[in-house]
């Protein structure tokens, strides 16, 4: 457990295990604790780095806040602090923005990229239309439901659902537009990822209510060298709902691409 002076903030991070480096980037409903079902498994094979994005968990922002616009620079600063030249990145939801921007800016430092519940910026007109319809007519959610978890999971595992909510509540409150696209958004990332050739794995829960699964499938289809997995019996947070499946799938992907 430690803090690193990175890019104007005191950034909380932890390192577990030894071996090839793997960074885990959490989503907007989580922080470094979110990966409690991954670290005991992956730290047997890899040097695992978990951290809190600025304004999440134990990492604050600057007096003049930069918010998510600094996420990729923060990750670069953390890796420099740790002396890590190259790493795989496992990113969930919001963390996919961090991972994608960092990877495009520093492709020589990324050995493989896993994107869970996020398109990583890979987009087209069909995907935007699916997203528009999904937003206009979102799936029904019972009052008090956790949007990031499937209804079946919440019913079967109320104790884990409570823990998910408690982890989420450890974060400071964010404005509703915290993750809204920036005015200077540069368009789809698929062309840049095609050129860079970084091994990529996209996955999404079939019961995802926050992100329409079709948009993730389209994102992968735009990048020929990427893989796509639709996960049954899971909502937005596959890593949390089906950790054994998630861990095994990601480990197999990393074993191939970190040794090739």
Identify each DSSP E strand in the chain by its residue range: 2-6, 9-16, 21-25, 47-51, 87-92, 110-116, 200-205, 226-231
CATH number assigned to the domain covering 2-174+187-259? 3.40.50.1820
Give the residue from 78, 56, 54, 94 showing the smallest Cα distance to 210.
Answer: 94
Q: What is the pTM of this model?
A: 0.94
Matching residue, tokens 């990175």: 6
Rounded CA gap, 234 and 222, in Å?
24
3-state helix, strand, coil in the chain (%, to 5): 40, 20, 40
At 230, give phi and psi (nearest 5°). Answer: -95, 125
Where does residue 212 rank: exposed (0-12), middle (13-18), buried (19+ CB within 10 A)? Answer: buried
Burial profile 163-181: b = 16 or more Cβ within 10 angstroms, e = fewer: ebeebbeebeeeeeeeeee
Note the pLDDT of residue 173. Answer: 82
pLDDT digits (tens, 9 = 90+) for 160-178: 999 999 999 999 887 766 6
Domain boundaries, the chain: 2-174+187-259
pLDDT digits (tens, 9 = 90+) for 229-247: 999 999 999 999 999 999 9
The two beta strands, 47-51 and 9-16, are: antiparallel
pLDDT digits (tens, 9 = 90+) for 10-40: 999 999 999 999 999 999 999 999 999 999 9
**Cβ atoms of residues 100 and 189 within 8 Å:** yes
């Amino acid at each position: 457990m430690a803090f690193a002076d990175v890019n104007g903030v005191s950034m909380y991070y932890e390192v577990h295990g030894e071996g090839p480096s793997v960074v885990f980037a959490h989503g907007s409903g989580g922080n470094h604790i979110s990966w409690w079902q991954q670290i005991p498994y992956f730290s047997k094979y890899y040097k695992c780095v978990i951290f809190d994005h600025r304004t999440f968990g134990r990492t604050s922002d600057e007096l003049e806040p930069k918010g998510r616009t600094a996420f990729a620079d923060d990750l670069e600063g953390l890796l420099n602090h740790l002396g890590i030249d190259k790493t795989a990145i496992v990113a969930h939801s919001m963390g996919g923005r961090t991972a994608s921007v960092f990877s495009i800016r520093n492709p020589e430092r990324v050995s493989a990229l896993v994107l869970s519940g996020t398109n990583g910026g890979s987009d087209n007109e069909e995907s935007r239309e699916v997203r528009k319809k999904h937003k206009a007519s979102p799936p029904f959610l019972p009052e008090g439901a956790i949007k990031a978890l499937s209804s079946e999971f919440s019913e079967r595992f109320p104790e884990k659902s409570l823990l998910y909510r408690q982890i989420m509540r450890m974060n400071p409150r964010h404005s509703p537009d915290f993750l809204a696209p920036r005015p200077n958004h540069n368009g789809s990332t698929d062309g840049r990822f095609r050129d860079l050739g970084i091994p990529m794995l996209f996955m999404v829960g079939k019961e995802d209510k926050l992100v329409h699964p079709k948009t993730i499938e389209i994102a992968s289809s735009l990048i020929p060298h990427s893989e796509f997995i639709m996960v049954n019996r899971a909502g937005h947070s596959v890593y949390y709902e089906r950790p054994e499946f998630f861990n095994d799938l990601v480990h197999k992907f990393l074993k191939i691409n970190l040794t090739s």
